[in-house]
Amino acid sequence: MTATLIALLTKMSILLACHFVGDYALQNAWMAMTKGKDWHAMFAHVGTYTSVFALLNLVPDVHLNLWALILILGSHAFIDPIKARWNLIGDVSDQLLHIGILLFCVLKGWI
């Protein structure tokens, strides 16, 4: 039981690190300021964000399967416009939705 919990927390920590790198560290000013108005900026951000997760497959003993990458890409492309373009949700809801998707991937065993 303890080993399983540690494994789940480790996997979630890895995904959260990827999330914060992709959603904040690699999002440049152009993406951040124009993704709500310009679909090119939105898709550049979504692609950059997802690429961080795809790079996990280069790490020994870590594998994020294709379903997880598709879900991460698709959900980010769906959630971010709801916040940035249409202002239907705020920052907290945006982050909770993204983190919920990552938790789903961990619980499904997709990492």
* C-alpha separations of 65 from 2, 68, 111 in Å: 25, 5, 6
Separation CA 65–CA 82 (nearest Å): 26
Quote the CA–CA distance of 100 and 71 in Å, as a whole number. Answer: 11
pLDDT (tens digit per residue) in 72-108: 999 999 999 999 999 999 999 999 999 999 999 999 9
| 68-78 tens-digit pLDDT | 999 999 999 99
Domain of residue 77 covers 2-107
**Tally of domains within the chain:** 1
Distance of alpha carbon 75 from alpha carbon 98, whole angstroms: 8
Specify the pLDDT at position 72. Answer: 98
Return the pLDDT at 61. 87
Measured between alpha carbons, how far is 88 from 27 in angstroms, rounded to an integer?
A: 21
pLDDT reported for residue 68: 98
Condensed to tens digits (0 to 9), the pLDDT of residues 32-56 reads 999 999 999 999 999 999 999 999 9
The confidence score (pLDDT) of residue 66 equals 96
Contact between residue 105 and residue 72 where contact means Cβ atoms under 8 Å apart: yes
pLDDT at 1 over 90: no
pTM of the full predicted structure?
0.94
